[in-house]
Chain A
Amino acid sequence: MFDLTQEGLAKDLGVTRQTILAIEKGKYDPSLELAFKMAKRFQTTVDELFIYEDK
Chain B
Amino acid sequence: MKKNSYYIICGILAVLLVVLFYLFIMICQPLLIIPVVILSVILCFVLKRRIPDCEMDERQVLIDMKTASATLKAGAALLLIGNLPIVIYAFSVPPMIMPMPRFHPPQVVPLGILGQIAIFELILLAAVVLLYAGIHIYYTHKYGGDIADEE
Q: Which residues of A pack against B, CB within 8 Å?
A: 5-7, 14-16, 18-19, 21-22, 25, 27-28, 30-31, 34
Contact = CB atoms under 8 A, between A and B. Distances in A.
Main SS of chain B's interface residues?
loop
A15 B59 contact: yes
A13 to B, nearest CB: 9
B147 interface: yes
Contacts, number: 43
User: Is the interface on chain B under 10, 10 to 19, 20 to 34, or 35 or more residues?
Assistant: 10 to 19
A18 B144 CA distance: 7
A21 B146 CA distance: 10
Interface in B41-60: 55, 57-60
B143 A22 contact: yes
A31 B143 contact: no
**Top 7 A-B pairs, shortest CB-CB distance:** A27-B144, A22-B144, A15-B57, A19-B59, A28-B143, A21-B147, A16-B57
B87 to A, nearest CB: 43
A6 B151 contact: yes
